[in-house]
Amino acid sequence: MGLDEKWTELPAVQRRFLLFSVAVAIIFLLLVLRLWFLQIVNHEEYLERSIRNRTRVLSLEAPRGPIYDRNGVLLVDNRPSFCISVLRQDVEDRTRLLTRLAELLEVDRDVLEQRWQKGRHFPIYRPVPLATDVSREVLERIQEQGVDLPGVLTEVRPVRDYLEKGSAAHLIGYLGEITEEELASAVSRQSRAGDLVGKVALEKTFEPFLRGEKGRRLVEVDVKGKLLRQLQKESPRAGNKLYLTLDRELQRAADEAFGEQSGAAIVLDVENGDILAMLSRPTFDPALFARGIASDEWRELLNDQRHPLQNKAIAGQYSPASTFKMIVALAALREGIVGTKREIDCQGDFELGGSRFRCWKKAGHGPTDLKKALRESCDVWFYQVGLELGIDKLSAAAKEFGLGAPVGYPLPGEKAGVIPSQEWKRARFKQPWYAGETVIAAIGQGFVLTTPIQLAVMTAALANGGKVLKPQLIERIEDWQGNLLLRPETEVVREISYSDAAWKAIKQGLVAVVNEPRGTGQIARLEDVVI
């Protein structure tokens, strides 16, 4: 009897049972083969995948590099601060949580909501900072309410500590949260959403040197992403140390002398271009940005008519007035228009084409030579000399000293100012140049605009005999171990050629301004120092 006949003689129930048993055996065999494939053949690959699925890498913030003055006096450091963060995965009722936190922190709930939304791009296991640099009193209030604040964490994070407050704020700058545009163009691959980066001035320009290298923690998480334990840790590396050319004592002295006035002050080393002090008023406290500036505080700064956020030392464009007269006198000496003895009679005004240009001294200065013109700032003398010189020669002389163009200040934001000429006016206004405009330009008014840093460079060149120097703000940069990374060298942009007699005549006039009777700068006279 064949198999077919035996099979057909079996009852239907037995046949179905045998078919089912065979099917089960085949499936079981396939499962065993699959298990063997996974456990034996691809064991290493799937083990690695398993580890990746349950481990996460968390960044550890690197201490930002400190900033010192030229003598090693600390200007900017880091200090520990209390930060209130939230783990979104542990929050069930966001509205209730943020409302309660807003009450405890005494801030607008919308502020916390905005910060929550910024954290949407973070991994679920990464805490989202809601408030930084909170007081110990606020911290204790939140800790007391911990049971009713699921997901809320209190962390200690480094925050920038600006020891000089607003004194050097325009030089040093401040930090802010990295934007999407900055993130896309970031030089460091370590940059991520939520990072604090330099926004202006030194903090921004020297970001690559200051930011340091982040550390990392390898942690184990469960299937919901909740942190279970730390597996490995790599400590962060601190940022590099910046030493500025500033002298803190000079900076403080300038700050105290300036008081509440608006304007700028600069102290420049005439031999190498080092910026020893630079002040812009009014100022702001960079600590506002370190802890996260409120919207009303930001609006107040933006709407202040005195422009506290502007560095007036490099971006304020003003008529140089009588400081410009030194350039006119030098150019006239070089062109042979005047000598040290030529006198011009000042009767209090100067007439040109039916227009009358007044001297600041209504009664006039009488017969006036070069030294007297500088000492007493006689407008009429400079009206006459400027007219004879002509605007184009005057313009060329001013540009030699660095006026009318950026002087190479090492941080962004420098303005060029304006040194007019016939060609400039035709290009700008499609109009010819008039002689009366030359007369006004000769006393540093009219179209003439300069920045305080340009005038500092110009004055340094007058003092050192014609070397136009590039201003320096960085003395050196060292790594966290003290190894030298950078030390800028003195840079002479150009050397201006005038006769020794011309330099001597100008310097004698400037000394007379402060140290002789009738000098217009007598208020600056010192007993033991010739200025």
The predicted-structure confidence for 296-350, as pLDDT tens digits, reads as follows 888 899 899 999 999 999 999 999 999 999 999 999 999 999 988 899 999 999 9
Range of the domain at 357: 317-450+499-524
Q: Is residue 457 part of a domain?
A: no
Q: Is the pLDDT of residue 49 over 50?
A: no
Q: Is the pLDDT of residue 196 over 50?
A: yes
Q: How many structural domains compose the chain?
A: 1
Catalytic residue (choose from 167, 322, 395, 421):
322
What number is the average pLDDT over the span 133-161?
83
Q: Is residue 515 part of a domain?
A: yes
Q: Is the pLDDT of residue 425 over 90?
A: yes
d(CA 146, CA 468): 63
Q: Is residue 364 part of a domain?
A: yes
Q: Is residue 300 part of a domain?
A: no
Q: Which of these, 503, 504, 460, 421, lies nearest to 323 by C-alpha position?
A: 460
Which of 110-124, 188-202, 415-429 has the largest mean confidence? Answer: 415-429
Report the predicted TM-score, pTM, of the whole model to 2 decimal places. Answer: 0.83
Q: Is residue 16 part of a domain?
A: no
Q: Is 177 helix (H, G, I), strand (E, B) or coil?
A: strand
Q: Is residue 347 part of a domain?
A: yes
Q: How many other C-beta atoms can be found within 10 angstroms of the C-beta atom of residue 15?
A: 13
Higher model confidence: residue 26 or residue 366?
A: 366
CATH at residue 397: 3.40.710.10
Q: Is residue 359 part of a domain?
A: yes
Look at residue 225 in the predicted model and tell me its pLDDT.
55
Classify burial at 278, counting beta carbons within 10 Å of its beta carbon; exposed 0-12, middle 13-18, buried 19 or more. buried
Q: Is the pLDDT of residue 46 over 50?
A: no
- For this structure, is 319 an active site residue? no
CB proximity list for 317: less than 8 A, separation 6 or greater: 415, 417, 418, 449, 450, 451
**Are the C-beta atoms of residues 56 and 125 closer than 8 Å to each other?**
yes
d(CA 147, CA 261): 52
CB proximity list for 236: less than 8 A, separation 6 or greater: 60, 61, 62, 63, 212, 213, 214, 215
- Rounded to a whole number, what is the largest CA-CA distance in the chain? 149
Look at residue 176 in the predicted model and tell me its pLDDT.
86
Residue 77: pLDDT band (50, 70, 90) is: very high
Q: Is the pLDDT of residue 47 over 50?
A: no
Q: Is residue 394 part of a domain?
A: yes
